Amino acid sequence: MRLASPDRRNQPPMLRRSYSYDENGDTGMIFSCFQRNIAHGFEAVQKRLAGEALANYTLTTGGGYFFVPPAGDAWLDALISA
Ligand code: HEM
């Protein structure tokens, strides 16, 4: 926890939500998080956690970034004109 968030007064700018699952013995955890800036959120924390001792007991089998556009069409216009 302290590796993930070294300064309690300045926590990583992300919201986390995990889902444990057990489907007939296929067990695991889906880690999900939400942030405005991936470099400042997930990636900054993940770099600090790289190589930590408990990582020996985990196996990452997949992952992805999903982008949630804001309401309205302005983001679409900006994307097309870029
Ligand atoms: C096997 C995967 C993981 C497990 C079992 C796990 C477990 C935990 C637990 C038990 C806590 C403390 C309770 C809480 O604040 O929810 C915690 C905190 C935290 N974790 Fe994880 N975690 C995992 C993966 C990750 C990943 C992939 C990230 C981000 C890259 C992450 C980021 C954080 C952060 C930012 C905190 C908050 C620390 C604080 O509030 O001081 N964790 N984690």
Tens of pLDDT, residues 12-68 = 999 999 999 999 999 999 999 999 999 999 999 999 999 999 999 999 999 999 999
CB of 38 closer than 6 angstroms to any ligand 1 atom = no
Q: Which amino acid residue places its CA nearest to atom 9 of ligand 1?
A: 1
Sign of the torsion formed by the C-alpha atoms of 7, 13, 3 and 32: positive
- The length of the chain in residues reads 82
**What's the gap in Å between 48 CA and the centre of ligand 1?**
12
For the entire predicted model, the pTM comes to 0.87
CB of 34 closer than 6 angstroms to any ligand 1 atom = no
Q: Check pLDDT > 80 for residue 69.
A: yes
Q: Where are the domains of the chain?
A: 15-81
Task: Give 74's Cβ-side CA count (13 Å radius).
Answer: 3
CB of 82 closer than 6 angstroms to any ligand 1 atom = no
